[in-house]
Amino acid sequence: MKKEKQIREFKLEPVIFYTVNTVLMALVIIVMLYPFWNTVAVSFNDAQDSLRGGITFWPRKFSTYSYQTVFKNELLSTAVVNSVLRTLIATVLGVFVASLIGFVLSREEFVWKKFTTAYFLVTMYVSAGLIPTYFLVKSLHLLNNFWVYILPGLVSVFNVIIIKSYMQSLPESLVEAAKVDGAGYGRCFIQIVLPCCKPVLATIALWCAVGAWNSWFDTFLYCSGEESLTTLQYEMMKLLSSAMNSSAQRDGASMYGQGNVSMVTPTSMRAAVTVVASVPILAVYPFLQKYFVSGVTLGAVKG
């Protein structure tokens, strides 16, 4: 439609509009990308050289020493392992549990459907708050325990609702046909319904993974006393705090520098950890884009 119009009559106005719009969008790209890009450049630059400032798009004096320090450091390697572990477990369990509940709630013949749905929905709006939850975790002996990363957030009602409404949109005859052929609910769920839900499962998996990978507060609150349970984002938070308190500028380096302080600076360490802590997700999300876009739309309709 728009093309036809352009051919029909050439005017100056559309040209101006598209130029301005393109420039604006290019500006958006720069603003969105530059802070991260700049950090990548700093992380690959020689630490002492970075102190002179003026690193913008490309490293001036290429060096991978910051990364070597990150991966050689025991605390940070532990953090990477913990972050990966918690992300994997939380994603697999989270997707499984959400789709299981979603499946049960999507069955028309389930007798207590109304009550059960309400039961789960309430938890979305009513939460006990920080302090009572803290005491609960304490009384369950989950303080300084790896499972505190997985268990409290395992049932995400929001995800349940999205999966449920997706399953309700599947044709009812799918499950009925399988039942006529003698499949139980378990088989229906695993062999018929789940394979049909791949797009929505991909969305939920991405959200679970992002949530688990990006959280630092639970480490801070529940596991700060146990170094072997530290996570990447929590280490990042510590680096940020010491950078914010300018009097403690050197702490970052001496914390991780392993003696050779002059080779790494707090800034270069922070840049390298930033990249390590964000690249896994940034590498994945563009490929799942078409799935999560539909997931967001579905979530807004139902949520």
Partner 1 sequence: MIIPCMIFTFIFSYWPLRGWIMAFQNFKPSKGYLGSKFVGLDQFRFLFSDITFWQSLRNTLAMSVLNLIFGTVFAIVFAMLLNEIQHMWFKKIVQTISYLPHFLSWVIVCSLISDMLSSSGGTVNNVLMAMGIIDKPVLWLGQQKYFWWINTFGNVWKEMGWNSIIYIAAMAGIDQSLYEAAEIDGANRYQKMLHVTLPGIRSTIVVILIMNVGWILNAGFELPYLLGRGLVLDVSETIDIFVLTYGINSGNYSLATAAGIFKSVISIVLVASTNWIANKLGENALM
Which residues, 200 to 239, sit near partner 1 by CB under 8 A?
210, 213-217, 221, 233, 236-237, 239
For position 195 contacting partner 1 by CB under 8 A, the verdict is: no
Tokens at 251, concatenated: 């702490």
Residue 15 or 88: the one with the smaller Cβ distance to partner 1 is 15
Residue 15 or 260: the one with the smaller Cβ distance to partner 1 is 15
Instruction: Return d(Cα 120, Cα 101) in angstroms, integer.
Output: 10
For position 104 contacting partner 1 by CB under 8 A, the verdict is: yes
Which region holds residue 231: left if phi is over 0, alpha if psi is between -120 and 50, else beta? beta
For position 192 contacting partner 1 by CB under 8 A, the verdict is: no
Instruction: Return d(Cα 39, Cα 68) in angstroms, integer.
Output: 17
Amino acid sitting at position 14: P
Residue 122 or 260: the one with the smaller Cβ distance to partner 1 is 122
**Tokens 């009812």 sit on residue:** 172
Residue 126 or 259: the one with the smaller Cβ distance to partner 1 is 126
- Closest C-alpha among 81, 75, 82, 77 to residue 254: 75
For position 289 contacting partner 1 by CB under 8 A, the verdict is: yes
Residue 259 or 283: the one with the smaller Cβ distance to partner 1 is 283
Residues 261-280 that bind partner 1 (CB under 8 A): 267, 270, 274, 277-278
- Closest C-alpha among 267, 277, 269 to residue 83: 277
Q: Using DSSP, state whether 62 is helix, strand or coil.
A: strand
Site string for partner 1, 56-95 (x = CB under 8 A): ----------------------------------------
Amino acid sitting at position 173: S
Rg (alpha carbons) of the chain, rounded to whole number: 25
8 Å CB contact between 257 and 264: yes
For position 13 contacting partner 1 by CB under 8 A, the verdict is: yes
For partner 1, which residue of 84, 143, 240, 248 counts as binding (CB under 8 A)? 240
Residue 26 or 88: the one with the smaller Cβ distance to partner 1 is 26
CB of 258 to partner 1, least distance (A): 22
